[in-house]
Chain A
Amino acid sequence: MAEHSRHFTGASIRLDTVDFDYGDMAMHFDLTIEPSTITAVIGPSGSGKSTLLNLIAGFETAKYGRIMIAGTEVTHAAPSERPVSMVFQDNNLFAHLDVAANIGLGRRPDLKLNETDKAAIAQAIQKVGLSGKEKRKPEALSGGERQRVAIARALVRNRPVLLLDEAFASLGPALRHEMLDLVGILQEKAGMTMVMVTHHPDDALRLNSRLIFLDNGKIAASGSAKELLSDNGPSLLRKYLGAEDSAQ
């Protein structure tokens, strides 16, 4: 099932006129994300940022339209069958399992790990800077360390798409920057396609990413973060950022 992603290169993502209803709110996404790129998604609360990620990950099903990843349609595929890993803001780890087991689940859902799996886990732990903490339970880890475990699991899963749903929102500024740098490096090395929802536009600048601005369930602006966040950026985005108010 996961063999398609053993190559560990990025995959393109295509949302082809996807419609989704969230209660009374109708959302519409028509979007292409190039392989091995980083895309940041920003927008007001309730604008559809997490829904966009949930549609790609398979936690929500589109009402109309198609979702393609690496050219294959996955619109109705189960989350575990998609070439996608996702890191959430909270609850990324099973509280009763230690670090190694939490990462190991990314390799085998029955935790029957062979030597290759164990080597991959050890390597991932080292990459995210958690060596020596393999046997710790989540309660004995800091917020940043817990997110590192989730990222390590994403690494051992070898899926070409990594989605971050406000994954670092609960961390302080210094730790958030540290984590952004870490995922930036890992993304560059592995060539994953990364899409992250964030409330901080400077995250997009830090990773030099593409930026998508959502408003009311639709894509209101899309382009390079540098351009969109400049003084010449779209008015709606500037208003959201509070730039127009302060200019006035």
Chain B
Amino acid sequence: MTSLKPLAGALALTFLAVLAGGACLSLAVEALRGSTEGFAAFDSYLWRIARFTLLQALLSMLLSVAFAIPLARALHAHPAFLGRAVILRLFALPLALPALVAVLGITSIYGRNGLLAALFGWLGLDVIPNIYGLTGILIAHVFFNLPLATRLILSSLDSIPEDYWKLSSQLGMGGWARFRLIEWPVILRNLSGIAGLVFMLCITSFTIVLTLGGGPRATTLEVAIYQSLHFDFDIARAVSLTLVQLCLTVAVLSFLSLTGRPTEEGFSLRTTTRRFDQPSRGTKLWNGVLIVLGLLFVALPMAGTVVSGLAADLTRLLGESLVWRAILTSLIIGASAAALSLIISLALVVAREYLASQRRYAPPKLFERSLDLGASLIMVVPPIVIGAGWFILSRRFVDPFSLAPIMVVSVNAAMAIPFAFRILRPTWDTAASRHNRLCAQLGIGGWNRLYLIDWPVLKRPSSVAFAFAMALSLGDLGTIALFGNNSIQTLPYLLLQRMGSYRTQDAAGLALVLGVLCLLLMIAADRGASTLAKREVRNIG
């Protein structure tokens, strides 16, 4: 019997191709249609924005990675201190923390009325911190990417064989020799991939620049695309900005593919290999200072979100029907996007593995490679580009705002696919390699195989992927900012509106609600991932 798996993969790929390809095609047609206006839009303003986009991404990347290396080393040197697991869990949170929530937390610490300003005042210093502009963007980007880079570098350090540490201890290597001969080669091998990933995330950052950027002097391409469509309705400029953004992401991803990706981090806490070196008292102190500073940098804005949120009139806020409608809309959109991303990722993973097992020793064909690439398509064509493309295309036929639910669900689902794919694929590939021969011999196929063999294995990673995808979707502002209107408002959209109308306390309260929702989903995902890791160890049938 012919398997339906490749067909499922083809359908998933078609969906992604239509979503990204439709947007690109629309932009290309628009660019050709109004080429004179289009070329005029490639002015000094555009190049200034492109330069700033690159500059802020470069600085964010350098700062994040430069601080992450010593922090990861410090965490790796002390694999068993009290609270280490909590720190690592905390470092996983920014990954799913909505950018808008983080921005409010950062403002509560580094803003004009924040903790830092109060500290300066207490010390009698006449310094008023200015969070808006490049400084704020950099702080927010480092807040998000320092923990990510730290976890990735820590993961690289975890891959160093235990024997190396035995050897370094036996040979009496000092701190510098250990770094140069053991740690640095491993870090270096993954550094370009980690730096590239952070650069990529910063180049496509939208919410942070939208809220902390200060006018034309601190605007990135993504924000300029949004402004040109939402406020100026300048299609020619939107098209030129989008094309430049697309070229930038393609260039960065091409560079990344040449330099290699960072080691897969996974979503659970890994056990660090045992180290046999004894750090000196001075090293311990230095490492302690680094860990505390890193912890404060990440934890304070989160604590700030909670404190400001609790100071808001939550009873009144939660009594507003508008708030409940936004929560419900967010949950429905989040759940739909998560379900769609899960279905597409499963189809891609299952079809890819089927084709790989069928070809045996032959090299992978185009279709199989396309299934892999399809999962990462959203990295090449950022959500805002897809949104802009479909916004421009749809306005010829319908009111673009009426497409809001479909567009937000589709783009959010696509956003979560790279993560869902990575969560599902290892479990599925391992299970398939274990089960395929046995199922073939016992004649277990079709529904029997799905119900008895595959679903019990996929159940947990699917829930993890679902929870993670839903958290991502709940916090997204990119597409809803473009398509949102009075009839469809998600929680981040409502939050942005309250921030825009200077109802800061309301915004803080909504940020707390949004943060708690995402946190609960992340805890569910993390718990699921930890169980998955344990099951992998026990899974020895």
Which residues of chain A have a CB within 8 Å of any CB of chain B?
Answer: 1, 22-23, 57-59, 78-81, 84-86, 88, 91-97, 105-106, 109-111, 138-139, 146, 157
Taking the complex as formed, is B129 at the interface, i.e. its CB lies under 8 A from any CB of chain A? no
Complex Cα–Cα for A1 and B441 (A): 12
Task: Tell me whether B541 and A146 are in contact (CB under 8 A).
Answer: yes
Task: Return 26 A-B CB contacts under 8 Å, by A number.
Answer: A1-B443, A22-B361, A58-B440, A79-B437, A79-B440, A80-B440, A80-B442, A80-B443, A86-B437, A86-B441, A88-B437, A91-B437, A94-B452, A94-B453, A97-B452, A105-B442, A105-B452, A106-B442, A109-B443, A109-B444, A110-B452, A111-B448, A138-B540, A138-B541, A139-B540, A139-B541
Please name the residue on chain A nearest to B459 by beta carbon.
A96
Complex Cα–Cα for A87 and B538 (A): 21
Given contacts A59-B437, A79-B437, A138-B540, contact A109 B442 (CB under 8 A): yes
Residues of A within 8 A of B433 (CB): 91
**Shortest CB distance A77–B (Å):** 11
Interfacial residues of chain B within 427-455, with CB under 8 A of chain A in the complex: 433-435, 437-438, 440-445, 448, 452-453
Residues of A within 8 A of B441 (CB): 57-58, 79-80, 84-86
**Shortest CB distance B182–A (Å):** 33
Task: Tell me whether B539 and A95 are in contact (CB under 8 A).
Answer: yes
Taking the complex as formed, is B8 at the interface, i.e. its CB lies under 8 A from any CB of chain A? no
Given contacts A110-B452, A139-B540, contact A91 B434 (CB under 8 A): yes
* Secondary structure dominating the interface of A: loop
Taking the complex as formed, is B457 at the interface, i.e. its CB lies under 8 A from any CB of chain A? yes
Please name the residue on chain A nearest to B436 by beta carbon.
A59
Taking the complex as formed, is B83 at the interface, i.e. its CB lies under 8 A from any CB of chain A? no
Task: Tell me whether B438 and A94 are in contact (CB under 8 A).
Answer: yes
Interface size class of B (residues with CB under 8 A): 20 to 34
Please name the residue on chain B nearest to A81 by beta carbon.
B443
* Secondary structure dominating the interface of B: helix
Complex Cα–Cα for A23 and B361 (A): 7
Taking the complex as formed, is B282 at the interface, i.e. its CB lies under 8 A from any CB of chain A? no
Complex Cα–Cα for A95 and B539 (A): 6
Taking the complex as formed, is B456 at the interface, i.e. its CB lies under 8 A from any CB of chain A? yes
Which residues of chain B have a CB within 8 Å of any CB of chain A?
Answer: 361, 433-435, 437-438, 440-445, 448, 452-453, 456-457, 538-541
Please name the residue on chain B nearest to A23 by beta carbon.
B361
**Shortest CB distance A22–B (Å):** 8
Task: Tell me whether A110 and B437 are in contact (CB under 8 A).
Answer: no
Residues of A within 8 A of B541 (CB): 91-95, 138-139, 146
Residues of A within 8 A of B445 (CB): 109
Complex Cα–Cα for A96 and B539 (A): 8
Please name the residue on chain A nearest to B445 by beta carbon.
A109
Query: Closest 4 A-B residue pairs measured CB to CB?
Result: A80-B443, A95-B541, A93-B541, A138-B541
List 16 extra interface pairs beyond A79-B437, A91-B437, A94-B452, CB under 8 A: A80-B440, A80-B441, A80-B442, A86-B441, A91-B433, A92-B438, A94-B453, A94-B541, A97-B452, A105-B444, A105-B452, A109-B444, A111-B448, A138-B540, A139-B538, A157-B442
Residues of B within 8 A of A94 (CB): 435, 438, 452-453, 541
Complex Cα–Cα for A93 and B444 (A): 13
Given contacts A94-B435, A109-B445, A109-B448, contact A78 B440 (CB under 8 A): yes
Residues of A within 8 A of B538 (CB): 95, 139
Residues of B within 8 A of A84 (CB): 441
Task: Tell me whether A111 and B440 are in contact (CB under 8 A).
Answer: no
**Shortest CB distance A115–B (Å):** 20
Please name the residue on chain B nearest to A93 by beta carbon.
B541
Residues of A within 8 A of B443 (CB): 1, 78, 80-81, 109
Residues of A within 8 A of B456 (CB): 96
For A59, A88, A92, A96, the residue with the greatest tally of chain B CB atoms inside 10 Å of its CB is A96
Complex Cα–Cα for A1 and B445 (A): 15
